């Protein structure tokens, strides 16, 4: 159960950041930039949480509902972006 919740938390946190709309309104570029830093920090300390974040980044159910504006391309995100460009997960 513990592993499942950590994986789900990483996925959900990242999916909410990438989403264009949330229940509290639209995500701005600045909100994404600041929020993803928290996710990256948590992912660095918890590899299971980090795998959930990776799944959210690589998988998108509707291309019109996510946005990557404001996401800084640190080494972690650059690695994910290269996977995405190779067609993994999309």
- pTM, full prediction: 0.77
In this predicted structure, the answer to whether residue 90 has a pLDDT above a threshold of 60 is: no
53 vs 25, more confident:
53
State pLDDT tens for residues 29-49.
Answer: 888 888 888 998 898 899 999
How many Å is the Cα radius of gyration of the chain? 12
Q: Tokens 């995405």 correspond to what residue?
A: 84
Percent of the chain with pLDDT strictly greater than 90: 18
Q: Where are the domains of the chain?
A: 2-85
Question: In b/e form, how buried is each residue of 9-33, taking b as 16+ CB within 10 angstroms?
Answer: bbbebbbebbbeeeeeeebeeeebe
Q: How does the average pLDDT of the chain come out, rounded?
A: 82
Contact between residue 20 and residue 32 where contact means Cβ atoms under 8 Å apart: no
Q: Model confidence over 66-87: pLDDT tens digits? A: 777 887 766 666 676 676 677 6
């Amino acid at each position: 159960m513990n592993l499942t919740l950590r994986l789900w938390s990483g996925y959900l946190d990242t999916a909410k950041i990438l989403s264009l709309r949330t229940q509290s309104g639209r995500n701005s570029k600045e909100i994404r930039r600041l929020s993803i830093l928290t996710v990256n920090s948590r992912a660095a300390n918890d590899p299971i949480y980090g795998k959930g974040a990776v799944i959210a980044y690589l998988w998108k159910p509707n291309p019109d509902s996510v946005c990557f504006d404001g996401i800084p391309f640190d080494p972690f995100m650059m690695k994910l972006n290269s996977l995405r460009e190779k067609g993994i997960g999309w």
